[in-house]
Amino acid sequence: MSAELLKTPLHAFHVEHGAKMVPFAGYEMPVSYPAGIVAEHKQCRESAALFDVSHMGQIRLIGDGADRALESLMPIDLIGLGLNQQRYGFFTNPAGGILDDLMVTRRDHDLLLVVNADRKAFDTQHLVTNLGGRCQIVPLPDRALLALQGPKAVAALARLNPDVAGLVFMTGGSFTLTGVECYVTRSGYTGEDGFEISMPADAAEPLARALTQMREVKPAGLGARDTLRLEAGLCLYGHDINDRTNPVHAGLTWAIPKVRRSGGEREGRYPGAEVIALQMTQGAPHKRVGLVALERVPVREGMNVVDSRGHRIGKVTSGTITPTVDKPIAMAYVVSDYARPAAEVYAEVRLQRVPMRVTPMPFVPHRYHRG
């Protein structure tokens, strides 16, 4: 018998607004509202969309040396992370594979981690097992998380507290919104300017109502979140990255700073460091690439990628017909020889081969507010 699905603090809000609810990562989540995924996608690109991401895991690391401890599990610079600065990173395993990707923010008295929903139990245990004697690990199941994304997100949120407009991309701070202290970062998963807002669970619905009453803001579900992040070239854990893909395969070495690379002041000293360092030097056999179809045929996750002779050279990990580009796009892992821009490959869609061209990502330019 399957376990009962969990509900976020905004469940009643979603139902009230006519959301189509689906199971996702153990939760009942809105995939779309009556306007539909394409309308919600365009709302985010043109104005502002509000996403409930309360299913994500929020975890505090507390104690002197928590940054150094966390660096033993991740190839990023946490010791050099300034107050209220945020970084993207990933846990790795001894083979260099990615156990999860996450965001880390240094606050006054802790590090705040935001991890993927279906990995939060694993991540919490991973932290307790490896760091339990070095810092305090505190999961935050009583916190909600909302993402307000889009070019007009700042205008909307600034009506509730004008000071949020002073944030720049990948920074955060504490702000009072609808009478409640929230922690806000200027970040997101859509490629647009926007904010992620952590708050007590009982504050989520009043804040969601205050925002969606504004002319710029409409609610959006998981369907639009997925098409937006794919256009932005952003990985989805369990699809585009997993414990068998490493940062070199995935094109994520930009997140590994010089200080943690070979020859750096704090090189290595994380799981899989030797494997990753070797592949950064010698190259990986497969690489993640962006693909644009040359015919209007949807290309979906799991489809094989072949060369002109029909030899299998890779597999699609995400795909959609994008509302902004209005073409079928995909991400795939292909043999490195085919990972060059403009290379032509083919996706096997049922019994036909759909020609696709390797293209740089993101498919739609990022519009982060960098100040």
In CATH, what number does 1-284 get? 3.30.1360.120
Beta-carbon contacts of 316 under 8 Å, excluding residues fewer than 6 positions away, are 291, 299, 300, 301, 302, 303, 304, 305, 330, 331, 332, 347
In terms of residues, how long is the chain?
371
**Token pair of 149 as six digits:** 């994304």
What pLDDT, on the 0 to 100 scale, is given for residue 2? 58
Compute CA distances 36 → 20, 236, 301, whole Å. 10, 22, 21
CB 127 within 8 A of CB 110: no
The bridge status of strand 48-52 relative to strand 217-220 is: parallel
SS (H, E, C) 167-216: CCCCEEEEEEECCEEEEEECCCCCCCCEEEEEEEHHHHHHHHHHHHCCCC
Residue type for position 346: Y
CB 40 within 8 A of CB 221: yes
**Token pair of 247 as six digits:** 């940062």
Residue whose token pair is 């965001």: 103
Compute CA distances 234 → 62, 188, 237, 268, 333, whole Å. 29, 10, 10, 25, 14
Q: Where are the domains of the chain?
A: 1-284, 285-363
What pLDDT, on the 0 to 100 scale, is given for residue 3? 77
d(CA 116, CA 103): 10
Domain at 285-363, CATH from 1.10.1740.10, 2.40.30.110, 3.30.230.30, 2.30.30.60:
2.40.30.110
Phi-psi region of 289 (alpha: psi -120 to 50; beta: other; left: phi over 0): beta
The pTM of this model reads: 0.97
**Token pair of 169 as six digits:** 């991309």
d(CA 37, CA 71): 39
How open is the CA angle 14-19-25, to the nearest 5 degrees?
Answer: 80
d(CA 102, CA 252): 13
Helix, strand or coil, per DSSP, at residue 129: helix
Q: What tens digit of pLDDT does each residue of 261-298 get?
A: 999 999 999 999 999 999 999 999 999 999 999 999 99
Compute CA distances 162 → 155, 176, 209, 219, 313, whole Å. 9, 10, 18, 22, 52
Q: Collect the ranges in the chain with pLDDT lower than 70.
A: 1-2
d(CA 190, CA 188): 6
Query: Environment class of residue 157 by beta-carbon count within 10 Å: exposed (0-12), middle (13-18) or buried (19+)?
Result: buried
